Amino acid sequence: MTARAVVTGIGVMSPNSPGGFGAADYWTATCGGQSGIGRVTRFDPRRYPARLAGEVRGFSAEEHLPGRLIPQTDRMTQLALVTADHALADAGVSTPEMPEFGMGVVTASSCGGFEFGQGELQNLWSKGGQYVSAYQAFAWFYAVNTGQISIRHGMRGPSGVLVSDQAGGLDAIAHACRLVRGGSDLILSGGVDASICPWGWVAHLASGRLSTSERPDRAYLPFDADAAGHVPGEGGALLIIEDSGAARRRGADRVYGEISGYGSTFDPRPGSGRSPALGKAIEIALEGAGLSPGEIDVVFADAAAVPELDRVEAAAITSVFGPRGVPVTAPKTMTGRLGSGAAPLDVAAAFLSMRSGLIPPTTNVTLSPDYDIDLVTTRPRRASVHAAVVLARGHGGFNSAIVLRSIDWN
Partner 1 sequence: MAYMEFTIRDLRRIMHESAGEGDGGDVEIATMDTEFTQLGYESLALLETGSRIEREFGIRLDDSDLFDSPTPRALIEAVNAQLTLRQAA
Contact 307, 314 (CB under 8 A): no
Q: Tell me if residue 324 falls in helix, strand or coil.
A: coil
Minimal distance, residue 157 CB to partner 1, in Å:
22
**Judged by CB under 8 A, which stretch of 70-78, 193-201, 257-265, 317-325 contacts partner 1?**
70-78
Q: Please list every residue from 337 through 366 that binds partner 1, using CB under 8 A.
A: none
**Judged by CB under 8 A, which stretch of 13-21, 62-70, 304-312, 364-372 contacts partner 1?**
62-70
Decide whether 75 or 280 has the Cβ nearer to partner 1.
75
Minimal distance, residue 68 CB to partner 1, in Å:
4
If one asks whether residue 61 binds partner 1 (CB under 8 A), the answer comes out as no
Minimal distance, residue 121 CB to partner 1, in Å:
17
- The residue from 46, 47, 68, 274 that contacts partner 1 (CB under 8 A) is 68
Minimal distance, residue 131 CB to partner 1, in Å:
7
Q: Say how far apart CA 357 and CA 360 lie, in whole Å.
A: 10
Contact 105, 176 (CB under 8 A): no
Q: Tell me if residue 325 falls in helix, strand or coil.
A: coil
If one asks whether residue 71 binds partner 1 (CB under 8 A), the answer comes out as yes
- The residue from 39, 41, 49, 70 that contacts partner 1 (CB under 8 A) is 70
Instruction: Kindly report the number of other CB atoms within 10 A of residue 21's CB atom.
Output: 22
Q: Please list every residue from 239 through 298 that binds partner 1, using CB under 8 A.
A: none
Q: For the stretch 251-284, what's the b/e string if a residue is b when 16 or more beta carbons lie within 10 angstroms of its beta carbon?
A: ebeebbbbbbbbbbbbbeeeeeeeebbbbbbbbb
Q: Please list every residue from 119 through 148 that binds partner 1, using CB under 8 A.
A: 130-131, 133-135, 137
Minimal distance, residue 111 CB to partner 1, in Å:
22
Minimal distance, residue 154 CB to partner 1, in Å:
14
- The residue from 2, 47, 58, 66 that contacts partner 1 (CB under 8 A) is 66
Decide whether 46 or 68 has the Cβ nearer to partner 1.
68
Instruction: Kindly report the number of other CB atoms within 10 A of residue 208's CB atom.
Output: 9
Decide whether 150 or 377 has the Cβ nearer to partner 1.
150
Q: Say how far apart CA 362 and CA 380 lie, in whole Å.
A: 9
DSSP letter for each residue of 137-171: HHHTSTTHHHHHHHHHHT--SS-EEE-BTBTHHHH
Decide whether 69 or 228 has the Cβ nearer to partner 1.
69
Decide whether 73 or 264 has the Cβ nearer to partner 1.
73
Rounded (10°) angle between helices 144-153 and 75-91: 50
Interface with partner 1 (CB under 8 A), residue total 13
- The residue from 67, 208, 271, 273 that contacts partner 1 (CB under 8 A) is 67
Instruction: Kindly report the number of other CB atoms within 10 A of residue 29's CB atom.
Output: 22
Minimal distance, residue 408 CB to partner 1, in Å:
43
Amino acid letter at 396? G
Decide whether 123 or 319 has the Cβ nearer to partner 1.
123
Q: Say how far apart CA 324 and CA 371 lie, in whole Å.
A: 9
Decide whether 79 or 285 has the Cβ nearer to partner 1.
79
Q: Tell me if residue 269 falls in helix, strand or coil.
A: coil
SS3 content of the chain, % helix, strand, coil (to 5): 35, 20, 40
Q: For the stretch 105-137, what's the b/e string if a residue is b when 16 or more beta carbons lie within 10 angstroms of its beta carbon?
A: bbbbbbbbbbbbbbbbeebeeeeeeeebeebbe
User: Residue 293: CA atoms inside 13 Å, Cβ hemisphere, count?
Assistant: 18
Minimal distance, residue 234 CB to partner 1, in Å:
23
Minimal distance, residue 152 CB to partner 1, in Å:
11
Minimal distance, residue 146 CB to partner 1, in Å:
17
Tell me, residue by residue from 81 to 120, as one string, x for binding to partner 1 by CB under 8 A and - for no binding: ----------------------------------------
Site for partner 1, rule CB under 8 A: 66-72, 130-131, 133-135, 137
